[in-house]
Structure 1
């Protein structure tokens, strides 16, 4: 059932998309008078969405840029830096990390030599936790090549430094290879080098592939091409983590409704946790930058957060020549917050709260390869 605040926000969106700026501005102004962000936790969510709608109305969102690479002009922290806070307090992120690493331990553990290609490695914190998990289980590969693919050179430098530090601590032999580029921009020669790295080769992409750039109106041809490239690496397994919502192919109004449903569920989950008020607000603002991209950006070619449903990702993976990775159905990660329910199906574990799958962890292998 919609509240008064819901109705005002939704009407503002409808007026904005139908070319009625005066009416839209009136609805937004009326909504603003009802908000008390300092006292009512849910009101920050309304404010973030209202701001995104306002920016779309004003055309401010025309020149949006990847929030993971550039600071917000009014705040300063990069999205990748706020992501660290998210990993500390948000069970969706930490559970996805734990599930993915449990699979990666099985794929990489106790090998003489192995390669992990991490698409969107960021600052390498997941890899640090992975090395520690491998060490604790006595399963460190004798030699591990870690390929970090990321458009941020600064993040790659931090990833190399942080993984080298953990490797020294646990006695791991790790060779780091940084590739500073979006995965969709890798050259043929780079893909050739990756195909020649020692096996087994394993691919990890945590909340990264929805950033693959697509032309307006595309049905996902570029991300399909990336998945085929990953299939050509002949990996023993590929692990993906992605939000479970459609902010890619859905038209603007439907995309807004999807975003509202997804992010308000995430905000409500966060409000049930014992997280300090300031940090809870910072995490919401992390998601607020994604809301800004999904809802507020006018130029479709500039959008970065092109999320898709898990079933859509699984269909793409199947077309690229992958089949479900059976071991994902059996791993039991430690430390999953009790508020979450794990919904399992072939090749996929959904992280669910109040019967809504908010994040999906997917595991696949090349069709025809040994399980």
Structure 2
């Protein structure tokens, strides 16, 4: 049955891309007649992909509307993200690995700066401060720069980090930069370079959101990485989904998305999460499916994921080299369902035969000449 459903789904996408919308609609109808979302856990995945294909056929997708920047959708999306962090080991394990690197770099410093790109509501920064405090290793003075396009999220991050700083008796100065990282001004970049060192950059599931021009191969994100290199950090730490939803052609991208999200959904189904929450988390990822599969206008897409190998190449071109500290760490909080695949500067989070998320750490490469 699964093979038949999958064949109909892929056939619909192929027919739509070939300019045969009536045939594609018929294939989707045949698929949807076979689905029982309430009784069969895997069928919600088929439904989410089928809906995205339908929206592509209609010429409308979700990419032009980033839910994190619209009040009517952002709170719901943030609530779903909280549920994801509570139940989904990919996010929590990536967070634990990244924070272990950040702790090693910031712990015990008299003065230091953390630039958090895509800080959101500051949950990762809060956990970092709490962990540093438990170890008695909080910096004497930490400057925390939150970069985020949402002013509301920045306000919440500031309040949360300042509250925790008081609770753990840490000295934290919060600076908010309300902007997508690719749109920051020259003055804002100069401000970062002037902050006290050591400076560390963190970007958790953020850099794949960098806006790109149509047909771009990543010019904007390359420019962001070069600008981050010019800040002269001791290290840059990244978490990213490990899949190509950016440079691959639409049908190939569809296949990558199907493989990636099917593994994510199967992992979720294996964890014993209550049915309603499990469905809600899948719908959180369904927004990403909608963006990757359903959006026709490439310039409107938000979820431009790349593989760890692609990010490593970008980091190298921007003047970074692997920070080998990462693959030697053995942090707490690694979920037993996952296997860690280690190489210089990268730890992949694998479930079954697929690395689903990558944590990368890099440092500025020495200048030659």
TM over 0.5: yes
Q: CA offsets per residue over residues 279-299 of structure 1, 9 Å max, x none?
A: 111110010000000000011
**Match for residue 29 of structure 2?**
29
SS in 1 for 2:61: helix
Q: Is the 8 A contact 1:147 1:178 kept in 2?
A: yes
Unaligned stretches of 5+ residues in structure 1 = none
Find 2:286's aligned residue among 266, 285, 288.
Answer: 288
- Aligned CA RMSD, in angstroms, stands at 1.4
Once the two structures are TM-superposed, the CA of residue 79 in structure 1 deviates from its matched residue by: 2.6
Question: When the two structures are superposed, what TM-score results if normalisation uses the length of structure 1?
Answer: 0.97
Shift of 1:60: 2.1
- Distance across 1 between alignment mates of 2:354 and 2:63: 33
Distance 1:351 1:3, change over 3 A: same
- Is 1:186 the counterpart of 2:184 in the alignment? yes
Counterpart in the other structure of 1:48: 48
* Aligned with residue 260 of structure 1, among 255, 258, 261: 258
Corresponding residue SS for 1:368: coil
Question: Would you say 1:121 and 2:119 are equivalent positions?
Answer: yes
The list of structure 1 runs, each at least 4 consecutive aligned residues, that deviate by more than 4 angstroms after superposition, is: none
Query: In the alignment, is the contact (CA less than 8 A) between 1:150 and 1:180 conserved in 2?
Result: yes
After TM superposition, the structure 1 stretch with the greater mean CA deviation from structure 2, 216-225 or 59-68, is 59-68
Contact 2:123 2:157 in 1 (8 A): yes
Residue 360 of structure 2 is aligned to residue 365 of structure 1: no
CA offset digits 1:187-235 (Å, max 9, x no partner): 1111001100000000000000000000111111110000000000110
Name whichever of 360-369 and 337-346 sits farther off: 360-369
Gaps of 5+ in 2: none
Tell me the CA shift for residue 13 of structure 1: 0.4
Q: Decide whether the 8 Å contact of 2:63 with 2:302 is kept in 1.
A: no
CA deviation profile, 1:101-159 (whole Å, cap 9, x unmatched)? 00000010001110000000000000000001101111000100000000000100110
Contact between 1:52 and 1:295, CA under 8 Å: does it hold in 2? yes
1:36 aligns to what SS in structure 2? Answer: coil
Residue 337 of structure 1 is aligned with which of 335, 338, 341? Answer: 335
2:297 paired residue number: 299
Query: Secondary structure at the residue paired with 1:172?
Result: coil
Deviations 1:230-270 (A, max 9, x none): 00011011100000000001111001000000000000000
CA distance in 1, matches of 2:131, 2:349: 21
